[in-house]
């Protein structure tokens, strides 16, 4: 009987010892669980922070890539606009030179010559003045009111270049300051040649840097864009915003232009360091196809990334808030999702705004009724610009026609006269300037003034003809009304 209590006490002691071991094991498991929870929390926080860094950097690259694409598109549209503007100016110069050489223009008193030049330059908003000189360099006439006594351009580089070589293409000067009125411009000039090819003088258009500045200011204003026009040898001709002392300087060795046109490319875009502004920029540049100019559009990365920086602040705050707990994490993720959507919408709105650049650029240079065309004589095919197609009620996709198809659109009463004018221009070099009625696709009639100039190849054979159609229907209707009114009187 004496063994029973002893056995009971041993059992109780064993139970107490087991309970103590279980408590220690539970505490150990709880501590391990806490460590695991902290480790998991730290891992989640680290993962969120790392993901935030990756997202911020990715959004930065996306913003810069989108800006580069939009700037390249704006640069292309501006280059197309300038190509058309300089084509109109060059056609005017060529026609003026032909008329002066033939003695059919630029005659009479000073005022008569001035009025003649003004009539030719009135539709060219970029041209400050139109002038011509004789073979000695003496300025014979100009479209502006100024005293021309002993005014000479004999020492100007563009004049000597035209005098010393029979250039068939226009010559572009460095920016010059007018000796007559002190304004800055650059010169696009053509040679005046006699029938035997001898030098008879020069005709030139002074391109207004103020007018170019107004045009450039309309390019991507939301990006604070820098727009530059250079000569083909990368001499600075015009810039917006203006920086004193840059006109006439070479940009050939700057990081932007060496990068844009590396490996002989005619167009390019990318990110470059600006030696002028001492900061990084996104830029695009393009050589004009037919004229010796280069146009570039650039924007500072700091401006492009304004929205990105605002988004980054929010993302960083959201990532740090995760440290407060998993509950806060879900709230922050939801909040940042909304912010990301807002940022995406802002980028989409910016992209839509840049899609409207063509309408703004087209309204700056008012070539309202001009449509350009190019006739390839070897194939007989004629390329029409979108404006040419629109004048005839045709879709833009229908702008490639055979010359006979084009002639079929001329009203039967005027068709033979139009055909003969083309033939005389190609065969005899007579000026091509014809007013005729055209039949539109919807069966209506439009009066068109057609002007053009023949381009020869290196062997002197006719190769192609460049021209422009201008809608003069309203003028013709007005003239008809005045004639009818005169008859009634």
- DSSP for 229-275, written as a single string: EEETT-BEEEEES--TT-TT-B-TTSHHHHHHTGGG-SEEEEEEEET
Q: At what angle do helices 3-102 and 110-121 cross, to 10 degrees?
A: 150
Position 151 scores a pLDDT of 82
Q: Are strands 176-177 and 199-208 parallel, antiparallel or unpaired?
A: unpaired
Q: Which residue has the tokens 């460590």?
A: 35
Higher pLDDT, 98 or 368: 98
Position 11 scores a pLDDT of 45
Q: What angle do CA 272, 84, 265 make, to 5 degrees?
A: 35
pLDDT exceeds cutoff 90 at 170: yes
Percent of the chain with pLDDT over 70: 83
- Per the prediction, the chain carries an average pLDDT of 85
pLDDT tens digits for range 27-46: 576 677 678 867 887 898 89
DSSP annotation of 410 = B
pLDDT tens digits for range 197-221: 899 999 999 999 999 999 999 887 8
Contact (Cβ atoms closer than 8 angstroms) between residue 226 and residue 132: no
DSSP calls for 299-311: EEHHHHTHHHHHH
Q: How far apart are CA 302 and CA 460, in angstroms?
A: 53
Looking at residues 72-82, what average pLDDT do you find?
95
> Measured in whole angstroms, how far is the alpha carbon of residue 282 from the centre of its chain?
14
Sheet with 279-287: list strands edge to edge: 236-240, 226-231, 293-300, 279-287, 267-274
Position 366 scores a pLDDT of 41
pLDDT tens digits for range 393-450: 888 777 899 999 999 999 999 999 999 999 999 999 999 999 999 999 888 999 999 9
User: Residue 361: which pLDDT band, with cuts at 50, 70 and 90?
Assistant: very low
Question: pTM for the full model?
Answer: 0.57
Q: How far apart are CA 278 and CA 418, in angstroms?
A: 58
Residues of the chain with CATH 3.30.450.20: 89-210, 368-488
DSSP calls for 462-481: EEEEEEEEEE-HHHHHHHHH
User: Residue 242: which pLDDT band, with cuts at 50, 70 and 90?
Assistant: confident
* 158 closest CA partner among 216, 227, 235: 235
pLDDT exceeds cutoff 90 at 137: yes
Give me the CATH topology for the region 368-488.
Beta-Lactamase (3.30.450)
Q: How is domain 89-210 classified at the architecture level of CATH?
A: 2-Layer Sandwich (3.30)
Q: How far apart are CA 280 and CA 22, in angstroms?
A: 67
């Amino acid at each position: 009987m004496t063994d029973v209590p002893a056995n009971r006490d041993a059992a109780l002691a064993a139970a107490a010892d087991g309970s103590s071991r279980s408590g220690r094991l539970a505490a150990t498991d709880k501590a391990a669980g806490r460590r695991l929870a902290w480790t998991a929390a730290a891992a989640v926080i680290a993962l969120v922070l790392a993901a935030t860094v990756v997202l911020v950097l990715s959004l930065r690259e996306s913003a810069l890539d989108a800006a580069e694409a939009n700037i390249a598109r704006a640069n292309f549209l501006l280059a197309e606009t300038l190509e058309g503007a300089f084509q109109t100016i060059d056609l005017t110069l060529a026609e003026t030179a032909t008329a002066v050489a033939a003695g059919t223009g630029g005659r009479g008193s000073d005022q008569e010559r001035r009025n003649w030049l003004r009539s030719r330059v009135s539709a060219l908003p970029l041209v400050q003045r139109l002038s011509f000189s004789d073979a000695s360099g003496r300025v014979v006439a100009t479209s502006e009111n100024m005293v021309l006594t002993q005014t000479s351009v004999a020492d100007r580089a563009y004049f000597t270049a035209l005098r010393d070589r029979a250039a068939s293409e226009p010559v572009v000067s460095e920016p010059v300051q007018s000796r007559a009125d002190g304004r800055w411009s650059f010169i696009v000039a053509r040679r005046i040649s006699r029938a035997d090819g001898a030098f008879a003088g020069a005709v030139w258009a002074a391109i207004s840097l103020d007018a170019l500045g107004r045009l450039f200011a309309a390019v991507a204003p939301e990006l604070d864009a820098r727009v530059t026009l250079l000569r083909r040898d990368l001499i600075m001709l015009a810039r917006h915003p203006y920086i004193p002392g840059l006109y006439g300087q070479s940009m050939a060795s700057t990081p932007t232009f060496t990068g844009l046109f590396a490996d002989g490319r005619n167009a390019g875009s990318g990110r470059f360091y600006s030696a002028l502004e001492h900061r990084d920029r996104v830029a695009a540049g393009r050589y004009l196809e037919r004229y010796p100019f280069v146009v570039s559009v650039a924007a500072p990365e700091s401006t492009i990334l304004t929205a990105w920086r605002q988004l980054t602040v929010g993302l960083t705050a959201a990532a740090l808030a995760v440290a407060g707990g998993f509950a806060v994490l879900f709230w922050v993720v939801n909040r940042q999702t909304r912010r990301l959507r807002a940022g995406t919408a802002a980028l989409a709105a910016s992209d839509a705004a840049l899609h409207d650049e063509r309408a703004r650029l087209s309204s700056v240079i008012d070539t309202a009724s001009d449509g350009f065309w190019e006739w390839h004589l070897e194939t007989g095919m004629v390329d029409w610009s979108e404006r040419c197609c629109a004048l005839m009620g045709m879709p833009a996709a229908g702008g490639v026609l055979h010359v006979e198809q084009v002639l079929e659109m001329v009203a039967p009463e005027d068709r033979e006269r139009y055909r003969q004018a083309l033939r005389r221009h190609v065969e005899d070099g007579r000026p091509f300037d014809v007013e005729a009625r055209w039949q539109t696709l919807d069966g209506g009639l439009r009066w068109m003034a057609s002007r053009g100039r023949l381009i020869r190849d290196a062997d002197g054979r006719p190769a192609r003809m460049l021209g422009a159609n201008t809608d003069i229907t309203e003028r013709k209707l007005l003239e008809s009304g005045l004639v009818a009114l005169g008859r009634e009187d």
